[in-house]
Copies of this chain bind each other. A is one copy, B any other.
Amino acid sequence: MAKLTPELMDIVAERFRALGEPMRIRILDALRHRERTVTDLVEATGATQANVSKHLTLLHRLGFVARRKEGTRVFYRVDDPDVFELCDLVCGGARKRVRRESRALRRT
């Protein structure tokens, strides 16, 4: 972790918080391999169109995704390659936790 000024800490927290919503993780996961339209993501996530649209707006504002208009549709794609690495790291930590907890459960 590099030196963190108070201002930078707020920005870092803001970015983590953006990734801290299950629906946004689902959206990013659906965008893992290819770009998708909003309608695609509505179908993939099971959320409302308005809801998906709001999450995409937030992810776009923070630079996590990029948009491309084509006629009446808008294609979104992941724009920050670090997102995948971040998720991998967090998943690794989560898996460790799960293993630790299941060991703890077996001991009871």
Interface residues of A (CB under 8 A from B): 1-2, 4, 6, 8-22, 24-26, 28-29, 32, 62-63, 80, 82-94, 96-98, 100
B contact residues around A92 at 8 Å (CB):
82
A2 to B29 CA separation, bound complex (whole angstroms): 9
Closest residue to A80 on the B side, CB-wise? B93
Distance (Å) between the CB of A25 and the closest chain B CB?
5
The quantity of this chain's copies bound in the complex is 2
Q: Are B1 and A22 in contact (CB under 8 A)?
A: no
Known: A1-B84, A13-B21. 11 other contacts (CB 8 A): A1-B87, A12-B87, A12-B94, A13-B22, A13-B24, A15-B94, A17-B20, A63-B93, A63-B97, A80-B93, A86-B89
